Amino acid sequence: MHSKSKKRAAAIGVPKIGKKESEARSNFVRGRFKEDIAKITADFTSSIDIDKRLADFDITGSIAHLYALRKADIVGEKEKKAIEKFLLKIKNDIKTGIFKFDKRYEDIHMNIEKRLIELAPVSGPKLHTARSRNDQVSIDFRLYVKNEIKKVARILLDLRFELVSIAKCRTGTIIPGYTHLQHAQPVSLAHHILAYYEMFTRDFERLKNCYGAADVLTLGSGALAGVDFEIDRRLEAKMLGFAKISRNSMDSVSDRDFALEFNFTLSMIAMHLSRFCEELIIWNSEEFGFIELKDEFTTGSSIMPQKKNPDVLELIRGKTGGVISNLLSLFIMMKALPLAYNRDMQEDKKPVMESADTVYNSLLIFKEIIKTVNFSAKNILSKLEDDFIYATDIATYLVKRRIPFRKSHEIAGQIINYAKENKKTLSKLKVEEYKKICDVIESDIFDVFNPLTSVNSKKSYGGTALNRVEAVINDYEEEIKRDEKFLERLK
Ligand code: ARG
């Protein structure tokens, strides 16, 4: 370092990195700099703690690039073999934990390349020909996202399978259906559970779509303008398993749509899971008593011995906030970036990795909880004794006797009022009392107060009638088989 700049650095109190370190660094990317990087700059700009998770993808990507370099005759056969061998050694050293990550080399790409150059000082420095960290980080991130999508999709499909299995055993269990968290109309428990199957199936489709968005090879874009050599990008795509190659190098190095789409899908899954958790928390309460959670998935209270708390469900619900915030972080980070790569984009990994981990782990434990949940048929049935839940069925009874719906609705309301005022349930009213309010009512009105009759009368396609639910379960089983095949193809 020049003595002037040394003095200046000392004056502003910024410690420099040591001589040995600065040599290593300047050999690497600091060719044009006269001054060393300040330690706080090195620390501030380093992303190795986060992007070291991309190590395997980085090496896989480098090997594909190496083959393209060989094909373009930029490296010889011997050099290619040596570089490949050392890259695989580094991969193994990382796996076994003997690799030393070093903050001074900023990120995973430079840590690996630095080590490669140590191991192969002559051929190693050729690897970065016709490549930039900008296309390298893009390809690594795409490989990572594709892999995470596969993991999340696998577990999501398992959950969908569980929901269908539960529904198959619970078609005939009838529960109160709610709107505004008030008793609305009786529904099959299977129908309720399968509403979540529908949500998770849409999420699965979303995962398929964002897999497509990530499945584009961006390697070979260079820093932003493309590269000077005859790099066979199709060969790279084939080696790395990408369906397409990107068409615009500037877009390639600065596109993070695939990450945003993935984070959006993760947010949707988290939101759906959170709603389901909320529902189970309510069902698990003393007031509802519809379900009992397995001991393994509940916690006790430090002072109240009677408690068995649904903490896991609450945490899944709670973590949803973080997942949605990560989507926003990514959007906000991207929204004002001019083309092409900007260092802001280094902040893209954390929100995606965090959300992918959270959602994956939430799905994993939620699947176990729902699989082992115990439904209390007795408690559920007791809630159906509230026969005001059949108010809409009374209106339907009247419509079938040619009274227009609006009028029928009003009469049913009068009946409810009458029953409430006289402190009686609907099934305990006498037929004469009914007739006083509306004379078309006969003694068959009492057939209405039956959960099964009520449910089976909702026979529109998509309704809760048991035969409708059974039929749709068959469709779902076929759909699951199709999605299994889709996942097989991604392997
Ligand atoms: N660590 C950077 C990232 O994750 C790698 C790309 C760096 N490129 C650059 N021109 N500084 O985004």
Distance 174 CA to ligand 1 centre (A): 57
36 pocket-lining for ligand 1 (C-beta < 6 Å): no
- Closest ligand 1 atom number to CA of residue 108: 1
pLDDT digits (tens, 9 = 90+) for 331-340: 999 999 999 9
CATH 1.10.275.10 boundaries in the chain: 3-132
pTM: 0.92
pLDDT digits (tens, 9 = 90+) for 70-114: 999 999 999 999 999 999 999 999 999 999 999 889 999 999 999
Q: What is the spatial distance between Cα 185 and Cα 198, in angstroms, rounded to a whole number?
A: 20
For 179, phi then psi, to 5°, come to -130, 145
Q: Let me know if 180 is a catalytic residue.
A: yes
Distance 343 CA to ligand 1 centre (A): 6
346 pocket-lining for ligand 1 (C-beta < 6 Å): yes
Q: What is the spatial distance between Cα 486 and Cα 4, in angstroms, rounded to a whole number?
A: 64
Q: Of these residues, 180, 188, 254, 355, which one is catalytic?
A: 180
CATH 1.20.200.10 boundaries in the chain: 134-230+241-383
Fold of the 134-230+241-383 domain: Fumarase C; Chain A, domain 2 (1.20.200)
Domain covering 387-456 in this structure, CATH number: 1.10.40.30
Distance 50 CA to ligand 1 centre (A): 13
Q: For residue 228, what are its two tokens?
A: 């000077």
Q: Let me know if 301 is a catalytic residue.
A: yes
Distance 250 CA to ligand 1 centre (A): 15
214 pocket-lining for ligand 1 (C-beta < 6 Å): no
134 pocket-lining for ligand 1 (C-beta < 6 Å): yes
107 pocket-lining for ligand 1 (C-beta < 6 Å): yes
Q: Given ligand 1 and candidates 45, 50, 134, which is best to mutate, with the most ligand atoms within 8 Å of its CB? A: 134
Q: Of these residues, 5, 285, 301, 382, which one is catalytic?
A: 301
Q: Given ligand 1 and candidates 57, 107, 112, 347, which is best to mutate, with the most ligand atoms within 8 Å of its CB? A: 107
133 pocket-lining for ligand 1 (C-beta < 6 Å): yes
47 pocket-lining for ligand 1 (C-beta < 6 Å): yes
What string of pLDDT tens digits covers the 491 residues of the chain?
455 555 554 444 555 555 555 555 544 666 677 677 888 998 999 999 999 999 999 999 999 999 999 999 999 999 999 999 999 999 999 999 999 999 889 999 999 999 999 999 999 999 999 999 999 999 999 999 999 999 999 999 999 999 999 999 999 999 999 999 999 999 999 999 999 999 999 999 999 999 999 999 999 999 999 999 999 999 999 999 999 999 999 999 999 999 999 999 999 999 999 999 999 999 999 999 999 999 888 887 776 777 789 999 999 999 999 999 999 999 999 999 999 999 999 999 999 999 999 999 999 999 999 999 999 989 999 999 888 899 999 999 999 999 999 999 999 999 999 999 999 999 999 999 999 999 999 999 999 999 999 999 999 999 999 999 999 999 999 999 999 999 999 97
Q: For residue 302, what are its two tokens?
A: 């430090």
CATH 1.10.40.30 boundaries in the chain: 387-456
Q: Given ligand 1 and candidates 137, 253, 333, 347, which is best to mutate, with the most ligand atoms within 8 Å of its CB? A: 137
Q: Are 207 and 156 in contact (CB under 8 A)?
A: yes
Distance 169 CA to ligand 1 centre (A): 53
Answer yes or no: CATH 1.10.275.10 is held by domain 3-132.
yes
Distance 110 CA to ligand 1 centre (A): 10
